[in-house]
Structure 1
Amino acid sequence: MAGVKWIRLSIDMFNNRKIKYLRSLPEGNNIILIWVMLLTIAGRCNSGGMIFLTETVGYTTKMLAAELDFDENTIILAINALKHLGMIDYYDENILIAGWDEHQNIDGLDKIKEQNRVRKQRQREKERIELGCHVTGHTEVTPSHATDIDKELDIDKDKKHIVAQSTTAYPYREVIAYLNSKAETAFKDTSKDSRRYIKARINEGFTLEDFKKVIDIKVAEWKGTDMSTYLRPATLFGTKFESYLNQKKATKKRDEKPTNQFQNFPQREVDYDALVMQGLQDMGDGEHGTEI
């Protein structure tokens, strides 16, 4: 999103066993480059690690090949290798960077977005005042006078914002309790991250009933499937909340699971499971997890 100009990378990235293994594959260096490019796209989307062209349009391999300037077969190889190593996942027609919240400063990204929003709002207000004075012609505005007006407006806005915040009741406990009862989870309503997502949606005008409806829809669709791990506040109450709210309840059978989460992509005849397991065994024991 606008204003997000950075992502975090570990200085030990190239000592990671998975990175070393990927570099040993055919097109290995290109796979690493594609991985870093996917991280930058996820940072640009600023949606909990999800990668999409728009909030309603996900990337295909052909679209990624065109945007990243790689052959489509290389993109397919990279996606499959990263998926088998658990570095990315794929759901709801979007690629998801695994462990994004743990490795990226999400609060920092949100702070940048909020600062840009406030700055643009102040600039529009200033332009409106200057335009009004120019049209009426009755008031002479000196630079110092304009600055004083800006300060008064900022103080007034801050007061109104503080009052609005103090009078808004955020249904943290009700939302999390409802999610836990429906999804059989054990999230805490005191969690800072969970509260941040709920607060953001309430500030956008959504209601407790909207939260319950989204939970009902996604529980009916995901509970008892491989997607059940995403029945969590970060996914349900994130930037796709409105899309989920307007989604019809799923009617699919829960015992039907896709044989391949990348079934929409052209496949190459490579036994990645055997390839990955053999490579990891050859590397020997070491650290676990994915570093970004």
Structure 2
Amino acid sequence: MAKTKIYFWLKVDKKFFDNLFIKRLKNMPGGYTMTVIYIRLMLESLEDDCILYYEGYFDSLVQELALKLDVSEDDINMTVAYFTKCGLIQIDDDGHATLSQAKAMVESETNWAKYKRDQRKNSQNLPKLENVQNKKTISNSCPTEIEKENRVNSKSNNLYLDNILSGNPDFTFPTWLEETAIKDLEKTKHKELWVPIAYLNQVANKRYKFVDKTKRLLLARFKEGYTLEDFKQVIDIKTAEWKDSPEFSKYLRPETLFGSKFDGYLNQKPKTIRGKSEDNFPDLPF
């Protein structure tokens, strides 16, 4: 089944630049650079519910963002410090950054909605033909196979997610879950939602809790149409690659596995890292 792609963007208007915190930057050294970096940080956060997750690859989130955005650590540090002081960025105990203003500005649509919008635009640009009965351009009355597939997939994804959130009474635990993992899941309200965490704990010998910050990651992937089998495959691939490496086993965590590079991990060929080597450095989510 094809995955439902979700496109995100920021809705920026004049009011954004009239914000007192933004206007104040105009009179500060490096203020323009900080404004641009702040906008880029918001854009980076969109796919993960306006949160910048600290992956743990370097000593701090600032170092990771500097590499990701290809800017200096000093510029990132000043930007994060300024907007944290303004209350527009909140850093939690795990080093993750929530960009509250981005939540108010984010817009999104599925690939199906984008397809229909482009379709309407294209149909408006077609030349008008006179004296032709039963004119047919691109119409909703006879959808193409692509339309049908996208419509079915979108509806299927929504139903699947609804079942997960409603605590599907007909849910049966996957056969690849051990009894200990099942007992942990039995204590939760949304058993199916937390299966990936229970399985990660099982195969990687971890003790991750069923908490809200992880829930956001799981819901984001389920909304895109990924299934429990997809989560299992990603966990299996990355566990086989990193588990036996003292240097890389720490990356076997929800923020790394279930973030924006999930699809890349899902389609990765299995490989194993055992020792330290420059060639062994993991596939960074940058």
State TM-score, norm by structure 2: 0.45
More helix per residue: 1
State TM-score, norm by structure 1: 0.45
